[in-house]
Amino acid sequence: MRIEAVPGDITDQDVDAVVNAANSSLLGGGGVDGAIHAAAGPELLAACRDLRRTTLPDGLPVGDAVATGGGRLRARWVVHTVGPNARVGETDPALLRSAFTRSLDVAAEVGARTVAVPAVSAGVYGWDAATVAAVAVAVGAVRGWAGEHPDALDLVRFVLFSPAVLAAFEDALAEH
């Protein structure tokens, strides 16, 4: 599996699945979540409302993931995950690792081979980008997952919104 970090707009990626840094309500928000909902159109919100009505009445727990269709995105699926919010005291890196690994689990379960992933929790949830990117968190989680599922995915692409966040992920990827 290839792992890369690129600058860009996650809503414009030509991949099978896009990971959404969602909030537990799944009903849209700011940052990556708002951008994905806006680009995917009303079909995405309808799918999320259906999940809340049927299988997730209390919302999606921190560190977990669930898939919906991609709506108007190029991607066939959106994998929603909820990262921990450091601003409200959720500072356990294991929860953040879980957001990444559960996203890959769900992407593989729906049949995705290529996945675009944002810097979950590095925006409004207050985590430092270098901490999120670290070999101990995002990059390490993806590498570990790939080692356990060597043929499940072809590509995990971290799509990052700023030069500083991109640099943090490039540094983490350069570490062995």
Residues recognised as catalytic: 33
Beta strands at 2-7 and 65-69: parallel, antiparallel or unpaired: unpaired
Residues 6+ apart with CB under 8 A from 15: 74, 75, 112, 114, 115, 116, 155, 157
For residue 174, the tally of other CB atoms under 10 A from its CB is: 10
Reduced to 3 states (helix: H, G, I; strand: E, B; else coil), residue 139 is helix
In the chain the beta strands, taken as DSSP E runs, fall at 2-7, 17-22, 65-69, 77-82, 114-117, 155-160
C-alpha 172, offset from chain centre: 17
Tokens of 53: 């009505």
10 DSSP 8-state letter: G
